[in-house]
Amino acid sequence: MSDFPRFPSDFHWGVATSAFQIEGSTGADGRQPSIWDSFTARPGAIRDGHTADVTCDHYRRYGEDVELLSRLGVDTYRFSIAWPRVISANGQVNSSGLDFYDRLVDALTAADIAPMPTLFHWDLPQSLQDAGGWRNRDTASRFADYTAAAVDRIGDRVDTWITLNEPFEHMALGHALGLHAPGETLMLDALPVAHHQLLAHGLAVSALRAAGAPAVLLTNSYSPAEPATDGEADQMAAAIYDTLHRRLFTDPVLLGRYPDLSAFGVDTDFVHDGDLALISAPLDGLGVNYYNPTRLAAAPEDAPLPFEMVPIDGVPHTDFDWPVIPDGLTRTLVGLRDTYGDQLPPLWITENGCSYGTGPDASGRVADIERIDYLDAHIRAVATAIDAGVDVRGYLVWTLTDNFEWAEGYHQRFGLVHFDVDSGERTPKDSFAYYRDLIADQRQ
pLDDT value at residue 182: 98
In this prediction, residue 1 carries a pLDDT of: 63
Block mean pLDDT (10 aa), the chain, length 444: 90 99 98 98 98 98 98 99 98 98 98 99 98 98 98 98 99 98 97 98 98 98 98 98 98 97 90 98 98 97 94 98 98 98 98 98 98 98 98 99 98 98 98 98 96
Question: What is residue 263's predicted lDDT score, i.e. its pLDDT?
Answer: 87
In this structure, the number of other CB atoms found within 10 A of the CB of residue 313 comes to 8
Cβ neighbours of residue 313 under 8 Å, at least 6 residues apart? none
List active site positions: 166, 351
Domain segments of the chain as ranges: 12-442
Q: Which CATH class is domain 12-442?
A: alpha beta
What is the predicted pLDDT for the residue at 102?
98
- pTM for this model (two decimals): 0.98
Angstrom distance (rounded) from CA 212 to CA 200? 18
3-class secondary structure for the chain? CCCCCCCCCCCEEEEECCHHHHCCCCCHHHCCCEHHHHHHCCCCCCHHHCCCCCCCCHHHHHHHHHHHHHHHCCCEEEEECCHHHHECCCCCECHHHHHHHHHHHHHHHHCCCEEEEEEECCCCEHHHHHCCHHHCCHHHHHHHHHHHHHHHHHHHHCCEEEEEECHHHHHHHHHHCCCCCCCCCCHHHHHHHHHHHHHHHHHHHHHHHHCCCCEEEEEEECCCEEECCCCHHHHHHHHHHHHHHHHHHHHHHHHCCCCCCHHHCCCCCCCCCCHHHHHCCCCCEEEEECCCCEEEECCCCCCCCCCEEECCCCCCECCCCCECCCHHHHHHHHHHHHHHHHHCCCEEEEECCCCCCCCCCCCCCCCCHHHHHHHHHHHHHHHHHHHCCCCEEEEEEECCECCCCHHHCCCCCCCCEEECCCCCCEEECHHHHHHHHHHHHHCC
For residues 52 and 36, the answer to whether their CB atoms sit within 8 Å is yes
Query: CB-based burial of residue 315 (10 Å sphere; 0-12 exposed, 13-18 middle, 19+ buried)?
Result: exposed
Rounded CA-CA distance 186/189 in Å is 5
